[in-house]
Structure formats: structure tokens, C-alpha cells
Structure 1
Amino acid sequence: MSHQYVLEFAALSDIGRVRKHNEDAIVVCSDYGCAVLADGMGGYKAGEVASAMTAKIVADYLCAKLDSAWYTKFGFQSIHLSRWISDAIHLANRQVVQTSQENPECFGMGTTVVVACCTQDKILFAHVGDSRAYRYRNHALVRMTEDHSVLQEQINAGLISESQARFSTIKNLITRAVGTQDNIEVDLSVHQADDTDVYMLCSDGLTDLLADDQIQDILRQYEGDLPTCCRALIDYANVAGGFDNTSVVLFKLKAVSGPSWMKKLLFR
């Protein structure tokens, strides 16, 4: 593609109607085209610690790598970014494990994480757990990640359908999480981006309460106004019960033209 892109982000996190603490964390690095969302668990306020640590560690690591490589931004391949994202999540895992072991009040804490990063016309996603990434293109919503959960394993095995899964009592049993074991497997994928796309990262506070077709309808209604769309998605989740914290990151690409030096300044 001849185009380069800048990104427009909107992000919102809400405690919901039942929980006393917000254990979700979001970090958006718009200058570097990256966003991180984490959904923590375990102990009194420990989930907040795990998610906040992970989101910050991953974002700081990626921003430092991208800043040091900004002058080759238009030359390095997505394979470099894939490695950096994986390294960042593994670094967060080690630090959350260490904090959990050294602080009794944090014992057993962990967190999901989902990361999006854009380089030129590619979108990279990485995740551990059941926080999700979606793409909205041509009025259709497609999930870009597969949950690391007992329920997803049952779906994959044909034991339960997607529609039945929404009402399962084991929706929140995840099979992978940052900080729960010394070594974790990170799922990574690279996708061709288009400047008509809208991308979404979210915690399960949204997807447990709204079906994908409901989310799609809200995106269709508000896709031109990302902050309003974020607010609408969370409001609908709260109206549906608000049983969990709900966090949403939305972003879309905008093609820019101009001399190469301007493109580098607009999107490093």
C-alpha cells in the first residue's frame, strides 16, 4: 500500500453495578499505535495490582522499543514487533509472579491481557486469557482472538454451541493468565489493516453481557464517534446487569498523505 496511517483511539473503563473495585486496566500509547487492556483477578485488590502492573509493563516496554527504532519505522517488519510484544508479556508475567510470591496479600493474583499494535498497514494482536480483540469491517464484527478458557475448549470439542455458551456457569474459568505460572504461551496474529476498519479490545465484562450481534449494532450506530461508542457499549453492558468491570478500547486507522518526513512525524 502507498498509504501510511495515523490512529484515532478512544478508551473507557467502568466499575459496573456490582463490583467494589475496578480490576481492569487500560494503557493507550497513541503516539506508537499501541493499546493494552488487562482484566485482573485474585484476592482483595490483588487483581487491580496484577492488571495495572501488566498493562504498564507491556506498554512501557513496547514504547521504549518503538522509540528506539522510530527512525527505521518504515523499514522494520512486523516480525520484530511480534517478538517485542511477546517479550513484553513474558516480562510482565515474570514480574507479576515475583510480586505475588513476595507479597502475601497478592498471592494467587493474575490477569488476562490483550494487546494491539499497528505498524504501517498491519495490525498485530497478542493475548493471554479471555479478554478479546475484534475487527469491525463492512458493517460486520469479527472476533480476532480465541479465549483461553474451559468454555472455549468445550466449544472447540463440539460439546456446547456458541449460543449455549453465553449462558454457561463456567464462563470465567480461564486456562491461561499472566502471573499464574512461570512460563506462559502468548497467542500472536498479524492482519492486513484497512482504513475503513474499527478495532476493539474489551474485557469479558462486555462480552459476557452483550452478544456479538448487539455489539455490532452499537458499532454500526456510533462508528463515526469512537468516544460516544465506548460510552454506549459500557452503558448497554450496565443496563444488562453490569455484573463485572467493563473496559473497551476502540481505534481506527486514517490514511495520510504527504512527504515521507511528515508521515514519520505523524506516526512513528
Structure 2
Amino acid sequence: MLGYFLTDQGQVRNHNEDAGGVFSEKAPILAVVADGMGGHQAGDVASRMATDHLHNKWKESGTIATPEEAEQWMIETVRSANDEIKAYADEHEECQGMGTTIVAAISTDQFATIAHIGDSRCYLANAYGFQSVTDDHSLVNELVRTGQITEEEAEHHPRKNVLLKALGTEFGLEPDVRTLEFEKDDRLLLCTDGLTNKVNDQELSELKDFHGEWKDFCRRLIELANARGGEDNITLAVVHYDSATHEKEGVQ
């Protein structure tokens, strides 16, 4: 199992509010991507807290061998991360109102379990094609889902960045969780909207047929997003089920 994580400040923002990583202290691999926001520029605090919380719980956890165990771990861990961030924001005035998206994946040689809150996404590339496996918790996605606007109108909607759900903004939030089959040569792409707002699904679908170093793939996508304006931070993680090697490329 190979993993690679990369984040970039972009061309406009004066600091990076994204965080994440690819972690493999044991046989399954955990990938995390988080996009922080709000609270007097405390978005970086929220995204880092979310990442650190999942990473620390991952190091402390026992063996995760079944989809049921992975889903339960995701629900409990994301829930506790949410409440930790909310409590911290309530106790620190400069952080009030902060929050973060989260998308995380546990990948084994049989399945991948994905959890998310917000509009950071996970895509799956396999023998059947390339598809998003998460649904944005955003205003425009809800408007599309209910037939009030088209997907084309959503791309340029003035409230495109309004989230309906974000980690750390209220107590008791839980993620959407799903488990997929994960087979040899399957790939996952986790990313923030700094990438998906600039690079379309057709371009992202190059994930399916890419052969080479994953660091080159990630750098090329970030360069493309920056060349198109780079108004936001840009972050992505790739997980590749390559059973031919045990090397952990780019794993933190």
C-alpha cells in the first residue's frame, strides 16, 4: 500500500489553513485531509487539531480487521475530534467560530472505509472507472440535489463555499461513512476544494491510469490549480493498493 500527501499555500492566501497526512504505523493505512476555516484566522488550528486527533487515536488503536471495526473507529474518532475542537473554540476567544472539513480513509488489502464532513472529497479509481464517493455538505450541493439549480449553475453560484456541516462548529456532529471494496491497483484521492474548484473531474480521473511517482502526480495537480489562480490552499492525498511493493512512499 502506497501513500503520498502534499499541501500548498496557493497563490493568494497568506498562510495555509489545510492540514492532513498519510499514516501507516500498522498494516492498514490512514489518510486524512482537512480544510480549516474561520475564527480570526484560526482555521489552521482546527485543521491541525483534527489531523492530530485522528493520527493520535490511530497510533493508540488496536488492529482494525473488518469494515465494521473501521466504520466504528471512524464514527467514534471523528465525533471525539469534533467535540474537542468545539470545546477548544469555546474556551479561546480568538478561535471562536473556527471549524474544518475532514475527509479520511482507512485502506486495507480488502476494503477502504471513508468518512467525511464538509466539502473535502474522496474519489475512487478502479477497474470500473473514476468516481466521487463523497457528497459535499454544502448549500449548492443541496440545491442541486433538490433540483433547484443545475450542476453547471452550481459551479458559479455566489454561495458556492457555504457549508451546511463542518467539524468543530457544534457538538454531536458525526461523519458520513461508507466502505468500499479495495483491490489491487485501486487508488483513492482525498482533496480539498482548493483543488476541485480548479481541476475538473476529467483531469482528476488521470488518477486511474497514472504510472510513476505519486509525488509527481500530486505536484502536477497542485501546479495546475495554481496556474488557474490558486486562490485557495490546495491539499491532496493519494492511496494506491500496489501489492507488488511494501515500500511506503511519502508516508508520514
Question: What is the aligned-residue RMSD (CA, Å)?
Answer: 1.8
Determine the C-alpha separation between the residues in 1 that align with 2:46 and 2:228: 27
Q: Does 1:150 align with 2:144?
A: no
Give the superposition deviation at 1:194.
1.7
* Aligned counterpart, 1:14: 8
Give the superposition deviation at 1:10.
1.1
* Aligned counterpart, 1:203: 192
Residues 220 and 94 of structure 1: CA distance in aligned 2, closer, same or farther (over 3 Å): closer
Q: Is the 8 A contact 1:148 1:176 kept in 2?
A: yes
SS at match of 1:255: coil
- Which is richer in helix? 1
Q: Is the 8 A contact 1:124 1:191 kept in 2?
A: yes
Q: Is the 8 A contact 2:19 2:44 kept in 1?
A: yes
Larger radius of gyration: 1
Identity %: 34
**CA offsets 1:70-127 (integer angstroms, 9 cap, x no match):** xxx5xx4210111111111111111111110111100100000000001331000000
Determine the C-alpha separation between the residues in 1 that align with 2:186 and 2:151: 25
Residues 147 and 161 of structure 1: CA distance in aligned 2, closer, same or farther (over 3 Å): same
Determine the C-alpha separation between the residues in 2 that align with 1:256 and 1:222: 16
Residues 99 and 225 of structure 1: CA distance in aligned 2, closer, same or farther (over 3 Å): same
Q: Number of paired residues?
A: 244
Determine the C-alpha separation between the residues in 2 that align with 1:223 and 1:63: 31
Listed as ranges, the matches of 1:13-52 within 5 Å are: 13-32=7-26, 33-52=29-48
Please tell me the residue identity of whatever aligns with 1:180. T
SS at match of 2:189: strand
TM-score (norm 1): 0.86
TM-score (norm 2): 0.91
Q: Is the 8 A contact 2:4 2:237 kept in 1?
A: yes
Q: Is the 8 A contact 1:126 1:189 kept in 2?
A: yes
SS at match of 1:43: coil
Any gaps of 5 or more consecutive residues in structure 1? 1-6, 263-268
Determine the C-alpha separation between the residues in 2 that align with 1:223 and 1:237: 21
